[in-house]
Structure 1
């Protein structure tokens, strides 16, 4: 289910429980569970009373929503969420996360602020940092949370003794937007105009030297440069006078400063056009459902005193998502079948319905599934769908047999009564019996031509009447011995012909079944390949984005004559290129493994399917 604008106002996503520990609110989790679309997640963080909530309301296209703190008290507690249809990306939901203001002295819990900041980074695809005044050393020191990310977030479950995980952060972290509020300076450098982006990058330039002062100065700047591949800056003038600031929610656009309004609109357009759908490792785009589960995984790690780990989160998320994906895809498949199938039904028509329902069910699974690298869950889904299809085929067979039996009773009733009365036990009775049987058999086939199992029911009936027919033949004194012998042989030939008809019917059904399995196998494999191509394309773009960022950073370090840092960046670039090369080389073996795995699964299912169907 898509969001569809169901949220008229924000709800709290993450809050403190009665023991002061973070938890995910069920109301918000239920809303995310209902969003099967990919999500673009934009989080805003910053010190309290810096106007964070106003920007988020603008992004939601609303005047009010997130609480605005116009007093010295921080209004937002925890992390609040507002899901709205994405204005530019059809089939996507925009998830806005407004975080509790950092640095509120009344809380007296610095670690709490750190976790709020970490969760905003982990859950978002774009992180907006909101601050007042200018970007100077004091402003960067207030952003000390970014320097603590290496202590509070891990990329891998197990890290080598000499491995620096922080080099991988850039591959998994969101894009970064610095929104500078109440900016009153001229954007100039050496008497020449500069852009807001150049203003930000200039503020992040590193100092030469290895003194403790230089290291302290460089630390927050290095973290921003090394952790966030895409950086953007917007500077906003004061939106209104002091009196107006206290009632921002009531001000019309005409009452706002025109330059502030213009910049606010530019900011929103940038977020709408440039914020990517939220992904995790492997280029996997996540839905609202997965985002809710991801939030629970990270919060549970924090509650238990552990450091949130991206690799472990993906493993946990995969299990949660894939179990649910199998269940929901199977339910979708069954609903589609039972909505369209009325038994008995022609096998070809049943096969067509099965094919369409299965294809759409695989779509449901692919959309919801997550990191099913060995296709364990998709193979499970394939087996379960074929179990349901098999049961439906058996029911169709049984219902068809019932209808054929009913027709057989109705058609051959007069013949059986005449046999019971002994009407054919007389000279000439055999030919009359044969003519009647031939005519009634024709009538039966005409009335059951659209039903499967009709020849099987007829074969069983004729077999049961074989002894009676021989008795009538032997009792007919008008036939010579030679004629009787000819009739006996003709009867044997007819029985063989009828058995052949029954076999042909069975073979047609078997061929249909094999075609269904082959088509199913092909559809599963094709869907995986399409999903892999989408993920690999996204991963390729992410890798190129990261590579470009690292190359830019290396050039900047060389320009500042920071040789040691430039050498470390060079090593990171070489490692990234090596990993990209390995990923490209592994494609053919992955394709072969997937096709082989589904082929083996199909072979395992098929014999059991055949035995049960044609019992």
Structure 2
């Protein structure tokens, strides 16, 4: 399905546009494309002033010469946010989602708040944010990036923020969810040197972000955009590009071959693309939860609806809303996968073990689809709903298989025992010596029936019913056989009783095997659900740990920079943040075992309510998984 979507998407489509009233809206076509993407997405957005060449870089990332509109006049060509989805060139089973945003600062729009929301949406939706500008990174360039100073006014991480320890700096929360930041400088003509020594582009950016000492209003204005970039984006990098071609050629960039472009520009473009491909991570939200294309589309709708309603987009609320939207989809899609796989493989009647194998494989794939599609199912309510529905469908298939097996066994039985029935109707056994002939015939036909039905469920139950029906016939033939003495007849009656008990025991053993198979299937089902759930929890925990370490590293780096720049008081304040982050990471490490144990036990207990006879071995199973996941 995804390959079909990629082959069909030869060019970008508009993701977010403005309606007739100037309000933002998500385009249906783009949403439908995202809904088909079940893989994890790496989202790269580009923002910047209009007419700075943003779109060219995005076309390069897509591996194309054309696609996103470049434009060759003073007009802003891109309106809203445009999207291009391509297979990630270096990350298998990932999709690269490129978002090209409307040029900021177009005076013809006359609505600066519109630009602010475009910038905020780019930040909220991306895992890497590229800011594109012309010339140099100086104070004027940073002042034009004033949108970054408004982020905390227009984005909330939590629905209700509770301050502790007198700390009113929640920059760590923003750092966890904000993308990495790349500043690309186009038409750069300076030498990358400082104090006569060569410096890297990253060092050039960090030098431009140095704070000015003092507490004056002028110093505060100077420092504000720099503080915001330093406090909100933990990972920052920079690329500088020389002018790609001569003035007249710039107007036809889409037509130029690589031979006509400046070699240094091409070299930097290649380095930029390689860096983005290797360093950009899959898009996540709070708690290390990774997004698929489908969830990304829902997230865009949730944020846009909040903006349309006059509310500040809140990530915590968005996550809750996404869970409601996505988990219902996840259950339906997983159940559809299960039913499709079972119905394509199961042709009744089947041996119970064969049906069990088909069920197990189908459920494993269904759970995989659910785990990859569901979102923030913290109480496992959706997963238990899926488990319940799969069990119900499997029970129904087992009943159908049992009916088919019984019908087949009865058909075989009627065919095999037809000669016996004919002889009984003709009274062939009602003569001296007839009982032994009857017994021999019955045993021979019973052996033939078992040989033809021994792999079929219900074969002993069907035979037991038949033999019970013939019990009275046998006794009548026995009583009429004058060749047997009374003592011999009594011995034969006792033998018949033993055989009836033995036959009943075979029937009970058959039923017991069915029950054991069902209990085994229930246990395997439980373990599949828990195994895949724990694997996802571990992936999310690992990603959350990486996010925390990234934030901690950024805070330590910022503290060092503040000390070097003479802001000792602010560096001391940052020490409290660092200590708080360390405490949070320690708490997370301490709580992970209890969290997993709780999940394993709660799933087992809940499953026991709708799996008859299932007794979850939650404690032992949970300990085994903990030792495997966290050693």
Partner of 2:382: 377
- Measured on the aligned residues, the alpha-carbon RMSD in Å equals 1.5
Return the alpha-carbon distance in structure 2 between the equivalents of residues 373 and 263 of structure 1.
44
C-alpha contact (below 8 Å) 1:550/1:569 kept by paired residues: yes
Q: Offset at 1:468? A: 2.1
C-alpha contact (below 8 Å) 1:154/1:307 kept by paired residues: yes
The equivalences for 1:187-226 within 5 A come to 187-226=192-231
CA-to-partner distance for each residue in 1:274-296, whole Å, 9 max, x for gaps?
11111111112111111111111
C-alpha contact (below 8 Å) 1:3/1:35 kept by paired residues: no
Query: Please, which of 76, 82, 85 is the counterpart of residue 80 of structure 1?
Result: 82
Q: Offset at 1:590? A: 1.2
The equivalences for 1:186-585 within 5 A come to 186-585=191-590
Return the alpha-carbon distance in structure 1 between the equivalents of residues 614 and 460 of structure 2.
21
Q: Do the aligned partners of residues 209 and 310 (structure 1) sit closer, same or farther apart at CA in structure 2, a change above 3 Å counting?
A: same
Establish whether residue 171 from structure 1 lines up as the match of residue 176 from structure 2: yes
C-alpha contact (below 8 Å) 1:173/1:227 kept by paired residues: yes
- SS where residue 289 of structure 1 aligns? helix
Return the alpha-carbon distance in structure 1 between the equivalents of residues 324 and 469 of structure 2.
56
Partner of 1:121: 123
- SS where residue 266 of structure 1 aligns? helix
Partner of 2:621: none
Return the alpha-carbon distance in structure 2 between the equivalents of residues 193 and 561 of structure 1.
25
The equivalences for 1:84-123 within 5 A come to 84-123=86-125
C-alpha contact (below 8 Å) 2:391/2:611 kept by paired residues: no
- SS where residue 62 of structure 1 aligns? coil
Return the alpha-carbon distance in structure 2 between the equivalents of residues 147 and 453 of structure 1.
74
CA-to-partner distance for each residue in 1:147-172, whole Å, 9 max, x for gaps?
00000000001112674433310111
Partner of 1:22: 24
CA-to-partner distance for each residue in 1:387-408, whole Å, 9 max, x for gaps?
1111111111100000000001
C-alpha contact (below 8 Å) 2:523/2:614 kept by paired residues: no
Return the alpha-carbon distance in structure 2 between the equivalents of residues 186 and 609 of structure 1.
72
CA-to-partner distance for each residue in 1:220-248, whole Å, 9 max, x for gaps?
00000000001011111111111111111
C-alpha contact (below 8 Å) 1:279/1:285 kept by paired residues: yes
Establish whether residue 150 from structure 1 lines up as the match of residue 152 from structure 2: yes
Partner of 2:620: none
Q: Offset at 1:570? A: 1.5
Q: Offset at 1:608? A: 7.1
Partner of 1:613: none
Q: Offset at 1:260? A: 1.3
Partner of 2:598: 593
Residues 413-422 or 507-516, more deviating:
413-422
CA-to-partner distance for each residue in 1:413-447, whole Å, 9 max, x for gaps?
12122222323223322222211111111111111
The equivalences for 1:41-80 within 5 A come to 41-80=43-82
Return the alpha-carbon distance in structure 2 between the equivalents of residues 225 and 609 of structure 1.
55
- SS where residue 127 of structure 1 aligns? strand
Q: Offset at 1:547? A: 0.4
- SS where residue 609 of structure 2 aligns? helix
Q: Offset at 1:50? A: 0.6
Return the alpha-carbon distance in structure 1 between the equivalents of residues 2 and 236 of structure 2.
30
Q: TM-score, normalised by structure 2?
A: 0.94
C-alpha contact (below 8 Å) 1:3/1:34 kept by paired residues: no
Establish whether residue 2 from structure 1 lines up as the match of residue 2 from structure 2: yes
Return the alpha-carbon distance in structure 1 between the equivalents of residues 349 and 179 of structure 2.
55
Return the alpha-carbon distance in structure 1 between the equivalents of residues 364 and 237 of structure 2.
42
CA-to-partner distance for each residue in 1:21-47, whole Å, 9 max, x for gaps?
111111111111111111111000001
- SS where residue 42 of structure 2 aligns? strand
Establish whether residue 160 from structure 1 lines up as the match of residue 165 from structure 2: no
Residues 96-105 or 555-564, more deviating:
555-564
- SS where residue 81 of structure 1 aligns? strand
Query: Please, which of 128, 135, 138 is the counterpart of residue 136 of structure 1?
Result: 138
Q: TM-score, normalised by structure 1?
A: 0.97
Return the alpha-carbon distance in structure 2 between the equivalents of residues 507 and 461 of structure 1.
20
Q: Do the aligned partners of residues 609 and 414 (structure 1) sit closer, same or farther apart at CA in structure 2, a change above 3 Å counting?
A: farther
C-alpha contact (below 8 Å) 2:608/2:614 kept by paired residues: no
